């Protein structure tokens, strides 16, 4: 058990003993992999772990726990998605206790039939600019270097997006894993054949992916939850990163960096001549 884990557990124990929060969202071991867990009793804190396999974005659960006081273990990107959720009025900052953990990057989760062998730092972590969450009530320092990269092959630089999209199963794992995909009426998930029909595969995969990209543009915090959840390993975050770049170039805006910064579509100003 690392020092960071010890510190994390003592913070969570204190929070639960003082009844500051009803439950804490964290990570636990499940066999040899890590999965999200919900801790609500002080004696359960021994389950909590924190290491480079914790790729889940726990902020995804916050909306369904809206009426309760929850604590959440948050990496840098998870913290950014909490900021976005607060800005979009989906959760109340006052009812969330953010336990920020310093993150040095996570490994790509193992998948059967995957092309990569060995543990490899996720591609989106190579692009990461926020090691620590922008909002934090407690901070757990990890220290040390980025996790050991056992595979020296650089990021999978597939550029043929059309054939990548063709692999998609429309399983909606990316939508479900994303903390910011929360619309009750999703335009790409329905069974009404208007824009995208859930059962029409592989037709409409182009519309499916571009629509999701457009809906995430300027909102995606590049946490990589969608990419890691995808069973066929489509590097979705790289696509959304490009659109975020467009927002950075045109409006100087990056999603989830501060609570006071309004998203560009809200403060859209006309300007220039035709």
Partner 1 sequence: MSWKPRVIVFTCWCSSSGVDQAGFEGFTYPPNVLTVRVPCSAVINPSLIVKAFEKGADAVLVTACRPSELRRVAPSRVTEARVSLLRRLLRTIGVEEDRLRILWISSNEGSLFSREVSRILGEVERLGPLNIGGSMVEQG
Asked if 35 and 28 touch (Cβ cutoff 8 Å), the reply is yes
Q: In this structure, what token pair is assigned to residue 158?
A: 């597939």
**Strand bridging mode 23-30 / 70-74:** parallel
Tell whether residue 1 is a contact of partner 1 (CB under 8 A).
no
Site for partner 1 in 208-237 (CB under 8 A): 210-211, 213-214, 217
Tell whether residue 190 is a contact of partner 1 (CB under 8 A).
no
Query: Which residue blocks in the chain are alpha helix, DSSP H?
Result: 3-17, 76-87, 123-126, 161-166, 173-177, 205-216, 225-229, 236-251
Tell whether residue 267 is a contact of partner 1 (CB under 8 A).
no
Residues that bind ligand SF4 (CB under 6 A): 81, 168-174, 177-180, 216, 220-226, 229-232, 234, 236-237, 240
Query: Whose Cβ is closer to partner 1: residue 1's or residue 195's?
Result: 195
Q: How far apart are CA 243 and CA 219, in angstroms?
A: 10
Tell whether residue 189 is a contact of partner 1 (CB under 8 A).
no
Asked if 68 and 22 touch (Cβ cutoff 8 Å), the reply is yes
Options 5-13, 40-48, 118-126, 199-207: segment touching partner 1 (CB under 8 A): 199-207
CA angle 44, 50, 53 (to 5 degrees): 125
Asked, as a colleague might, if the bond just before 120 is cis with ω within 30 of 0, I would say: no
Options 73-81, 94-102, 153-161, 252-260: segment touching partner 1 (CB under 8 A): 153-161
| Shortest reach from residue 264's CB to partner 1, in Å | 9
Q: What residue 213 binds from partner 1, ligand SF4, none (CB within 5 to 8 A, per partner kind)? A: partner 1
Among 162, 199, 262, 266, binds partner 1 (CB under 8 A): 162
Tell whether residue 118 is a contact of partner 1 (CB under 8 A).
no
Asked if 169 and 158 touch (Cβ cutoff 8 Å), the reply is no
Options 28-36, 43-51, 57-65, 243-251: segment touching partner 1 (CB under 8 A): 243-251
Among 86, 99, 226, 239, binds partner 1 (CB under 8 A): 239
Query: Whose Cβ is closer to ligand SF4: residue 121's or residue 229's?
Result: 229
Among 67, 145, 157, 159, binds partner 1 (CB under 8 A): 159
Whole-number Cα distances in Å, 135 to 88, 98, 99 = 15, 7, 9
DSSP state letters, 114-128 = -S--S--B-HHHHS-
Cβ-proximal residues to 194 (8 Å cutoff; 6+ apart), any chain: none
Residues that bind partner 1 (CB under 8 A): 159-163, 165-166, 187, 195, 202-207, 210-211, 213-214, 217, 239, 242-243, 246, 250, 268, 270-274
């Amino acid at each position: 058990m690392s020092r960071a884990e010890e510190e994390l557990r003592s913070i969570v124990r204190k929070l639960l003993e003082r009844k500051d929060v009803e439950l804490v969202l964290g990570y636990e071991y499940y066999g040899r992999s890590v999965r999200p867990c919900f801790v609500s009793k002080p004696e359960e804190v021994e389950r909590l772990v924190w290491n480079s396999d914790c790729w889940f974005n726990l902020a995804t659960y916050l909306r369904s726990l809206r009426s309760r006081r929850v604590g959440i273990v948050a990496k840098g990107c998870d913290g950014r998605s909490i900021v976005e959720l607060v800005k979009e009025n989906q959760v109340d900052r006052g009812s969330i206790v953010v336990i920020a953990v310093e993150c040095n990057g996570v490994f790509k989760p193992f998948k059967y039939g995957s092309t990569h062998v060995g543990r490899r730092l996720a591609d989106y972590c190579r692009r990461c600019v926020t090691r620590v969450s922008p909002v934090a009530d407690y901070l757990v320092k990890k220290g040390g270097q980025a996790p050991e990269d056992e595979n020296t092959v650089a990021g999978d630089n597939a550029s043929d997006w059309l054939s990548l999209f063709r692999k998609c199963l429309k399983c909606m794992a990316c939508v479900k894993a994303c903390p910011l995909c929360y619309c009750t009426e999703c335009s790409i998930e329905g069974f009404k054949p208007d824009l995208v029909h859930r059962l029409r595969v592989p037709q409409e995969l182009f519309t499916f992916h571009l629509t999701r990209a457009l809906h995430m543009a300027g909102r995606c915090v590049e946490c990589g939850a969608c990419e890691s959840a995808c069973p066929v390993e489509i590097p979705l975050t790289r696509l959304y990163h490009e659109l975020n770049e467009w927002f950075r170039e045109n409006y100087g805006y990056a999603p989830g960096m501060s609570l006071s910064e309004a998203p560009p579509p809200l403060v859209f100003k006309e300007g220039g001549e035709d």
